[in-house]
Amino acid sequence: MTRWVLTLFLCLGACAPASTTDPAPDRAPHIVILMADDLGTDVAPCHADTVRMPHLQSLCEDSIVFQRAYTHPVCTPSRATLFTSRHPFQHGANDVRQAATKLDLAEITFLERLKRADTPAYQTAGFGKWHLGDDENGDKRSPNLQGFDHFEGTPRQQDTYKFWNYSWWRNGEQVEQSVATYRPTYIVDRVLAYFGKVSEARPQLLYVSFTSPHLPFHAPPEHLHSIEGLTEPPKRGPLNQAPAPGYYQANRRDPRLDPYYFAMLEALDLEIARLTTGLERESDRPIIFMFAGDNGTSAEVYQGDLSAGYRAKGMLYDGGARVPVQIWSTGPESKLLQRETDQLFHFADFGPTILDLAGLSSLEIEAMERETHGVSQAGVLRGAPDAAREYVYLERGTPGGAPYAFGAVDENGMKLVLWADPEARFPALEGFQPDRIEVYDTETDPNELENLFATCAAEFAIIRNHLSFIDRTISGDITSTVPFDFDVFADLMDEQEAACGARAL
């Protein structure tokens, strides 16, 4: 089936009168979200210089590619923001530890909004990694309680990062104790089996969440990759200890892992190819595909420049928070629009954008945008000249745990990063010590090597606007308890501007 880029149905909902229920149920598109785990732009298709995922790379010219898409830099807060369009200081799912509290049932997901709206009767199904379940929000039934009609995979964190011999759950019940099939392959098998049974009379929204290329780094089945000579990869050693023979040091770049990592990328790409072609073959409806990475690449295999210090997963630098977002569609009804865009995109935008594509009325989309931090990107997908966003907001940190940082990136690529604790320490990142205020021009300095604030090269009027944006974002929620103090950072900016002025004299 011919692939077309997505102006498909984009006027439906956003351009239609508020009372419309178009698209008609018999032509409403299937919507498929394909989520990779720990995949930053340093290796992603349509971004990296070296092609590691040839199938997705072959679709770049037929896709709308957001070159500047951002999210929060670890998986739990990023995924919670995708589903709620709210930020970690609001939804509270900011801790990745297995026993940590995840997504509260009081949070409204875009799936729930879709199901209660006056639209074609979308059926919702999720597969693979949920990572948002805990003891208080339904345990193994958490995905079903937050909008999925059908969910199978790993609803809790247990067994999430086993690629063989893992348990499998379906709608809250364990159906397999030890699956021997390679996990990406099994996920695709299950999606295709499910899709083959559901009626084409109803449009489907499928969330397909892989755990690749998240560690543990390994050699996938030989038929899924072309890397030769893979035997036994180094194993992960203890934090802050020199690795013993056969081990690697966590959070440190280790080129010995690259062949295994590249093989994992190839294997994921091949399984995504099998999935997308299989869905196209089974469906007479158009299908909208959305491919994304949930946060940046792990430091051990990060392909970017680390000469300025830690710049990978877990931090607000582009290596941790900038991710691939690639969207394409099938169906001869669509008009062809092939382009890359530098428009800002945030994971909070997935919800409003998907609801727009599904045909919700403009009033419903506007209501969601008012209630959340998401913005429908349908206008950008149509080729509108005006940006949907001026800024994106970034956050990392946990209460009593990981140090807090807050960030903002503007439409020109200027980034402000603020560290809440001036004495922040990183025991797992030996030698890493950030500046309290950091400013980077990500357009001219994509590796974020020069802190313009420290070198007096920052335009203070511009970064004060960033600071005000962060303040408006956080202060708009009176329940926020994150340690952000506008006055402290404003005073520090005043002091540095005065010092820079005196230095110039």
pLDDT at 229 exceeding the cut of 90:
yes
End-to-end CA distance of the chain: 66
Over residues 209-228, the pLDDT tens digits come to 999 999 999 999 999 999 99
Share of the chain above pLDDT 70, in %: 92
Segment 126-144 shows an average pLDDT of 96
So what's the pLDDT on residue 22? Answer: 43
Q: What are phi and psi of 66, to 5 degrees?
A: -85, 105
φ and ψ of 157, to 5 deg: -80, -20
3-state secondary structure 304-334: CCCCCCCCCCCCCCHHHHEEEEEEEEECCCC
475-493 burial, b for 16+ CB within 10 Å, e for fewer?
A: eeeeeeebebeeeebeebb
Minimal CA–CA distance to 156: which of 233, 103, 89? 103
Tokens of 40: 């930053």
* Residues 6+ away with beta carbon under 8 Å from 111: 83, 124, 146, 147, 148, 205
Could you tell me the strand order of the sheet in which 391-396 lies? 391-396, 405-410, 414-419, 437-441
Q: Which domains does the chain have, with CATH numbers?
A: 3-388 (3.40.720.10), 394-504 (no CATH)
Summarize pLDDT for 402-437 with one digit per residue, the tens: 999 999 999 999 999 999 999 888 888 877 899 999
Among the listed residues 117, 91, 112, 116, the one whose alpha carbon sits nearest the alpha carbon of residue 102: 91
Here the tokens at position 24 are 């008609």
* pTM, to two decimals: 0.94
Q: Where is mean pLDDT largest: 41-50, 113-122, 238-247? A: 41-50
Contact by Cβ (8 Å): 84, 91: yes
pLDDT the model gives residue 158: 87
Quick one: pLDDT band at residue 338, thresholds 50, 70, 90?
A: low
Q: How far apart are CA 265 and CA 306, in angstroms?
A: 21
